[in-house]
Structures are given as C-alpha cells and as structure tokens.
Structure 1
C-alpha cells in the first residue's frame, strides 16, 4: 500500500487539502483510500498521512486504462491569448 503525505504550515489548510484529495481519490474506481491521520509538526503546521491502495485491473475489464480529470471550481479559468493573424511573406513590401 502506498501512502501520501500532505504538509502545510497552516493546519487548517493541510486538513482541507487532504479532504479534497481524499474526495478526488475516492471518486476514482482505481484506488481505495485509507483513513487520513493528522500529525502536528514542530513549526505549528500539520502533516496529513493517508494510505492509498491501487486496485488491480480484473481480467474481465481487459486492463483498459482510465483517465481522471478534476476541474477546480474555486478559481476562474485563465484567459487564453489568441494568436496574431497569419501573414504571408511578400505582403509587406507590395
């Protein structure tokens, strides 16, 4: 079983981050997440540990990989920049 460690100098932020990561992992059918444990660190922050078990693909599924995308709703999407129009050579000197 693998383990994840999430650390932050703000204990509340470390707990919130760990809860978000745990929800995202639990939404995936590829892993099983163990209980998260919070350990205070020496600098007034916190460390959150959680165990993650990778489920082996069954023979019936054929071992197809799945991709998981998590979209954040708490931040606006970055603005995309449009490219300049394409210009051909020889147009400037004509």
Structure 2
C-alpha cells in the first residue's frame, strides 16, 4: 500500500517577504525568479505552512507599499483550508 507523505514547509517570513518583493518587482528577472520559486515549490509536492506569527511579521512592516505587496502575494497563493468539522447532535 502506497502512503502519501505530505511535506509541510514553514519558510521564514523574511523569505516569504523577499518572494513577495520579487513578484511585485518592475524587474522582469526578479519576477521570473519569483515565478520559478513558485513553480518549483509546487512541483516539489510541498505544502506551505503558515502560522499566525508569519502574518504578524509580514504585515508589521512600516511601509504600506511593502505590506500591500505581501498581501497581494498571499492572495495569489492557492489555499487549501480544512473544512470545518460539524458536530454530531444526538
């Protein structure tokens, strides 16, 4: 029987911030680098693990434009959220 072993990856928020910066860059080489990272990560079968601390750090930057880039990056990700559990009533 083949078991699927998910690979959860919790990147440092500074790495996520750099990817967001590259994705929003006017420099096409940096945008391509961000796209290559995304494609490579997707092909690796990894699952990006984010915790509340990531969001706090990503959104605490003083520059509103930087925060906007980071929000746009997070919005561009494909999200897979667990469905809410329903409680049985008896």
TM-score by length of 2: 0.29
Higher relative contact order (CA 8 A, sep 6+): 2
Which is richer in strand? 1
Which is richer in helix? 2
